[in-house]
């Protein structure tokens, strides 16, 4: 796919630099543990669904926004009938196709960074997204994706997604002191995360009123949140019917 947006280019670069760390940065940057990376997928999936009493069923068709190299896609695919993973980075998607080649119920798409593209209206039972929207620099894009979730969910379908409600952590100043402390270590190791002050890493927080408006505009009914006011606010909504 031609490079049409800076988001895709940024995440292509991060995929080549250290894909596992940029997806799951609790890992050691210099020596990311691949086994821990993949084991964290089902753990995080359960952590996002359990607060709402939701689970993925064996007949479900799932859409995952921001699939990366397939960490949570694999977890979803072991529970669902079909999973469509979408990511703005062609490099991430290429790596996911390789990593998930043993899963015939997974379909991966390179997204355009604005919407869910060719995913058909009313085709999904579940839409899931975790640690994705918080990296989008413009919250208007996040709201557009929320409206798109409403488009692709069938009547009775549901969504759980994560957003940030802490605008201060998305400002470069909040990260500069940490970068200063780690710079010396990074020089010694000759490896450290790069461009973490880039807008496509820093991302943005959402406004609750605008988020609820987007949920309604997408034809969805807001159900609940957990982690209100935090970087890891989980949102649950469904499509009536």
Q: Which two tokens stand for residue 17?
A: 């630099």
pLDDT > 70? residue 177: no
Name the CATH superfamily housing domain 6-111+121-238. Vaccinia Virus protein VP39 (3.40.50.150)
Stronger pLDDT, 158 or 173, i.e. the higher one: 158
What was the pLDDT predicted at 170? 94
Rg of the chain taking only CA atoms, in angstroms = 17
Q: Which range is least confidently modeled, 18-32, 40-54, 105-119, 169-183?
A: 169-183
pLDDT-based confidence at 180, cuts 50/70/90?
Answer: very low
User: Which residue bears the tokens 């050691």?
Assistant: 28
CB of 233 closer than 8 Å to CB of 225: yes
Q: Domain spans of the chain?
A: 6-111+121-238
Q: What pTM, to 2 d.p., does this model score? A: 0.91
pLDDT > 50? residue 187: no
Digit-coded pLDDT (tens) for 83-103: 999 999 999 999 999 999 999
Digit-coded pLDDT (tens) for 121-151: 999 999 999 999 999 999 999 999 999 999 9
pLDDT > 70? residue 12: yes
Name 66's Cβ contacts closer than 8 Å, sequence gap at least 6.
86, 87, 88, 129, 130, 131, 132, 133
Digit-coded pLDDT (tens) for 193-215: 776 789 999 999 999 999 999 99
Mean model confidence pLDDT for the chain: 92
pLDDT-based confidence at 174, cuts 50/70/90?
Answer: low
Look at residue 222 and give its three-state secondary structure.
Answer: strand
CB-side neighbour CA atoms (13 Å) of 213? 10
| Rounded Cα–Cα distance for residues 62 and 124 (Å) | 6
What was the pLDDT predicted at 184? 42
pLDDT-based confidence at 191, cuts 50/70/90?
Answer: low
Look at residue 208 and give its three-state secondary structure.
Answer: helix
Digit-coded pLDDT (tens) for 15-74: 999 999 999 999 999 999 999 999 999 999 999 999 999 999 999 999 999 999 999 999
CB of 130 closer than 8 Å to CB of 100: no
pLDDT > 60? residue 76: yes
| Rounded Cα–Cα distance for residues 154 and 160 (Å) | 15
pLDDT > 90? residue 183: no
CB of 87 closer than 8 Å to CB of 67: yes
Look at residue 74 and give its three-state secondary structure.
Answer: helix
Count the helix, strand and coil residues of the chain and give each as a percent rounded to the nearest 5.
45, 20, 35
């Amino acid at each position: 796919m031609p490079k049409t947006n800076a988001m895709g280019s940024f995440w292509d670069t991060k995929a080549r630099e250290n894909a596992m760390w940029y997806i799951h940065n609790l890992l050691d940057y210099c020596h990311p543990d691949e086994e821990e990376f993949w084991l964290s997928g089902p753990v995080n999936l359960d952590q996002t669904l359990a607060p709402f009493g939701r689970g993925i069923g064996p007949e479900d068709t799932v859409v995952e926004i921001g699939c990366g190299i397939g960490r949570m896609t694999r977890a979803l695919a072991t529970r669902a009938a079909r999973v469509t993973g979408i990511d703005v980075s062609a490099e991430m998607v290429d790596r996911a196709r390789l990593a998930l080649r043993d899963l015939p119920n997974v379909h991966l798409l390179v997204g355009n960074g604005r919407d869910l593209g060719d995913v058909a209206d009313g085709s999904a039972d579940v839409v899931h997204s975790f640690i994705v929207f918080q990296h989008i620099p413009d919250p208007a894009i996040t709201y557009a994706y929320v409206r798109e979730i409403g488009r692709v969910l069938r009547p009775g379908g549901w969504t759980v997604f994560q957003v940030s409600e802490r605008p201060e952590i998305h400002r470069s100043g909040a990260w500069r002191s940490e970068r200063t402390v780690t710079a010396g270590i990074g020089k010694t190791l000759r490896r450290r995360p790069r461009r973490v002050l880039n807008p496509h890493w820093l991302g943005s927080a959402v406004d609750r009123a605008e988020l609820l408006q987007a949920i309604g505009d997408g034809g969805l009914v807001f159900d609940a949140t957990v982690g209100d006011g935090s970087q890891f606010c989980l949102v649950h909504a469904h499509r009536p019917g």
